[in-house]
Structure formats: structure tokens, C-alpha cells
Amino acid sequence: MSDSKTTSDARVSAIRLLDQILGEHRLMSDLLVAGILDPLEPAERARANRLALDTLRGLERADRMLAKYLRKPPPLTVKNALRVGTVELCAGEAAHGVVNAMVNIVGEDRKFTGFKGLVNAVLRKIAAQGPEAWNALRVPRLPDWLRDPLTEAWGASAISAMEAAHFAGAPLDITPKPGAAVAIPGAEPLPTGSLRLSNPGQITTLPGYASGEWWVQDAAAAMPARILDPKPGEKVLDLCAAPGGKTMQLAAAGAEVTALDLSAQRLKRLEQNLLRTGLKAKVITGDALDHTGLYDAVLLDAPCSATGTVRRHPDLPHARDGAEIGALIDLQARLLAHAWTLVRPGGRLVYCTCSLLPDEGEVQVDQALAAHPDMRADRTALGRPGIHPQWLTEEGGLRLRPDYWPERGGMDGFYIACLRKSG
């Protein structure tokens, strides 16, 4: 297969991904699990993925540039071809290749043949403006459904900083197994104990991947298990465990781990992760709300809006509209109340969500503290290496945000609290 054919397959797939995300409101992760890119060769798959992600991150800029030349909106697929083309041209790709490819792609579908001339003319004009016009545009903003509550919670300047972090995208962080000597060239040690890779390439070919010396996990996502601080032999329950990043941390520390999740499909990935890393956990498929038992420690990584992961999932603000958040908040409260019944006297519960919305973090813990006289927030547990005292919150939790560590490439948004039960 020639290089240009490969590139155009990647472009077609990127446009298809955008059609589904922006037209059908599907999440990119769901589309990938459903196999939308499976027919492509690995290199093409990576390119399609990157093109779609870059276009989603720059969507507002692409639309602003295109708006000058579109008197009325073309069909979504044509618009997405123009968006991908604009993003490529503004990243400095050769005009001739991009324009021809997009004209051909649009022309291949009989429904859109009539738009070939438009695509050709518009992309030529965009090419003439180039990266300079792109760079002069403002950093893309979050849609109002998310921007409004975040502005209310964190203030306008914090939101601008978060949007800059979202636009920049995310490096790849890994969690090494305790004692593993990870030898990945260019890996930067982070103050919290994770390692950061700026240009990882294909992950599965990196040293130590096959032998299970480390796993992919954002530096912020690695904090809940560090804060839980499992001791060898402790009985620890990981509720909502799949795909198992935190389960592996708990097991690697020598705890006796039970990992539970509602999704059998996601648990398959957890089992594969345990197999690769040679770590052990008892795995249960089931509803956390039905689980019984008594544990030294419980980790509850509750299902949430995932609004802390927009750096890595720029599709989320466009595919979602916030309609599901009310039900998630209700579920989190029920899970937290039930998880508390599984903690032995004197034990601890770490509650966390990868959300930027206080209703899914600070407010949940505030309400749980008010409802349970035997619960107190353990602030000492939050004092881990690399944690800035300014990140600690009033009710006794830890707030992590994508705009923290800007010089290092940011971190996911997370909320974490360690709740101690009276002995």
C-alpha cells in the first residue's frame, strides 16, 4: 500500500470518527472499542486517531477559519473533511496533498460529489492563510454546558488555563511497578512517582511493556491508590475497578485485593492487565451496591462525567451535553454510602472521581461527612510527595486540575478524599 493511499485511508477514518462523534454524539472510546479503526494498519490507525483528536481540540479554530468561506453549512461529512483539511494545513502539511486528498474523499461519495469544487476552493484559501491565521485565533473554549459550571466553580482565569491545557493535549504517564528499573529513553520522573513520556510512539513496543514492568496511568489517576497507601496483607476492595490501573497499584503494594466492576467487558481488560503485570486480585463482576463484606480499606473510583480527562478525550465536551450528570451524582452518593458499610471500624475509604465538577467531588464528601458521624476526612493521608498544599480543599480532600504543572504538560482533573472510620 502506498504512503498516499495510507494517508487518505487515515483521513477517511478520521472524518468517519468525527461524523459519529459530532453527528451521533458517540464517544471516541466507544467507537474504538466497537472496532471502527480495526480495518486499518497500525500506522494508519494511529494517524486516523491523531487526526481526529487534533481536529476535535482545534474544532473552534477550524470552524472560525471556515466560517469566512462558507455561506451556508455543507453536510456534516463535507464539513468534517474541511475541518480535518484545515487542521492539517494549519499544522503545516503540504497544501497540494491535503487539498487533493480531501477533494477526492468528498468526490468518492455520490451524495457529496457536488461539493468537490467547494472543498477545493475553500481549502486553497485556508492554505493561503496558513498557520499564522490559525495561531492568531483564541484558544478554543469549552462548550457552555461545561464552561458555565466550571467558571462558577473555579473562576474565569482558571478556566482559560484549563482550556489551554486541553488544547495542548496530554503526554503519556506510566506507573512503574515498585522496584522496577524502567529504562525508557526520555522518561521524565514526576514528583508524585509517575514517569512521563512526551513522544512515546507505539506503547506496546516500549521496553518493559511486555514484561509488565509498568502500565499507562495519568499522574493524577495514580494518586488515589498512593493516598490509600495499602500495606502488605491488608484486605482492600477496589469498587468500580476496571480497567484496573488502581487495582494493579494496590496489588503491587502487596495488598490482598478484591476488584469489582459492573462491566464484564471492561473487566476483561483488567484481567489482561493483571496477566501482563503478573499481579493478583480476586475479580468479581457485579454491582457495587449489592456487594457485602468488611475490608481494611475500600477504593471507590466512582463513575462520573470524566470532565477531568478532556486533555486526552477532546471528544467528550462535543459528544456529551451534561444531561447524564444528575443521575451520576445520585449514583455516586449511593455508592459512597454503600462503600462506607464495607469499611471495618478504624479502616479507610478513598473516594475519587476524574471530574472537575465539585458536585461529583467536594460536595459528595461534604455531604457524606455530614451524614456519617463515624466518618472524618484524613488530611494527613493527602500529604504525599509532589502534592502541593494549595491543592487541599476545605472539607479535607485533594483537588487536582489540568492546569496544574503547566511547565510539565499538565495532569488530569481529579478529586480525591481519604475518609477514616472511627475505631
Ligand X SMILES: C[S@@+](CC[C@H](N)C(=O)[O-])C[C@H]1O[C@@H](n2cnc3c(N)ncnc32)[C@H](O)[C@@H]1O
Query: What's the rounded Cα separation, in Å, for the pair 197 and 189?
Result: 9
Query: What's the rounded Cα separation, in Å, for the pair 48 and 53?
Result: 9
What's the one-letter identity of residue 67?
A
Query: What's the rounded Cα separation, in Å, for the pair 66 and 86?
Result: 8
The binding track of 93-122 with respect to ligand X, each residue x by CB under 6 A or -, is ------------------------------
Nearer to ligand X, 122 or 281 (CB): 281
CA-to-CA dists, residue 31 to 49, 59, 75, 242, 285, angstroms: 11, 19, 21, 18, 23
Query: What's the rounded Cα separation, in Å, for the pair 315 and 310?
Result: 8
- DSSP 3-state assignment of 238? strand
354 classed as catalytic: yes
- DSSP 3-state assignment of 215? strand
Residue from 24, 108, 287, 324 touching ligand X (CB under 6 A): that is 287
Number of C-beta neighbours around residue 422 at 10 A: 10
Query: What's the rounded Cα separation, in Å, for the pair 86 and 102?
Result: 10
**Neighbouring residues of 193: CB distance < 8 A, sequence distance ≥ 6:** 175, 222, 226, 385, 386
Nearer to ligand X, 134 or 295 (CB): 295
Residue from 263, 276, 367, 408 touching ligand X (CB under 6 A): that is 263
Is cis: bond before 243, omega within 30 of 0?
Answer: yes
Q: What is the DSSP string of 88-124?
A: HHHTT--HHHHHHHHHHHHHTSGGGGGGHHHHHHHHH
Q: Does 139 bind ligand X (CB under 6 A)?
A: no
What's the one-letter identity of residue 175?
T
Residue from 141, 147, 266, 420 touching ligand X (CB under 6 A): that is 266
Q: Does 288 bind ligand X (CB under 6 A)?
A: yes
**Shortest Cβ 242–ligand X spacing (Å):** 4
Total residues in contact with ligand X, by rule CB under 6 A? 17
Q: Does 262 bind ligand X (CB under 6 A)?
A: yes
Q: Does 171 bind ligand X (CB under 6 A)?
A: no
Residue from 48, 78, 195, 241 touching ligand X (CB under 6 A): that is 241
Nearer to ligand X, 160 or 263 (CB): 263
- DSSP 3-state assignment of 371? helix
Q: Does 240 bind ligand X (CB under 6 A)?
A: yes
Stretches 106-114, 133-141, 182-190, 286-294: which one binds ligand X (CB under 6 A)?
A: 286-294
Q: Extract the annotated binding site for S-adenosyl-L-methionine.
A: 240-246, 261, 301
**Shortest Cβ 38–ligand X spacing (Å):** 22
**Neighbouring residues of 45: CB distance < 8 A, sequence distance ≥ 6:** 10, 13, 37, 38
Q: Does 361 bind ligand X (CB under 6 A)?
A: no
Residue from 119, 123, 242, 336 touching ligand X (CB under 6 A): that is 242
The binding track of 299-338 with respect to ligand X, each residue x by CB under 6 A or -, is --x-x-----------------------------------
Residue from 74, 140, 171, 243 touching ligand X (CB under 6 A): that is 243
Stretches 41-49, 182-190, 256-264, 276-284: which one binds ligand X (CB under 6 A)?
A: 256-264
What cell numbers appear for 59 in the block? 474544532
Residue from 74, 85, 176, 244 touching ligand X (CB under 6 A): that is 244
**Shortest Cβ 183–ligand X spacing (Å):** 25
Q: Catalytic residue among 90, 304, 352, 354, which?
A: 354
Q: What are phi and psi of 384, to 5 degrees?
A: -95, 160
Q: Extract the annotated binding site.
A: 240-246, 261, 301
**Shortest Cβ 400–ligand X spacing (Å):** 14
Stretches 111-119, 201-209, 285-293, 322-330: which one binds ligand X (CB under 6 A)?
A: 285-293
**Shortest Cβ 303–ligand X spacing (Å):** 4
Nearer to ligand X, 137 or 284 (CB): 284
Q: Which of 198, 195, 204 is nearest to 222 (CA)?
A: 195
**Neighbouring residues of 156: CB distance < 8 A, sequence distance ≥ 6:** none
**H or E element that contains 258:** strand 256-261
Contact criterion met (CB below 8 Å) for 418 and 401: no
Residues of this chain that bind ligand X (CB under 6 A):
240-246, 260-263, 266, 287-289, 301, 303
Question: What are the catalytic residues?
Answer: 354
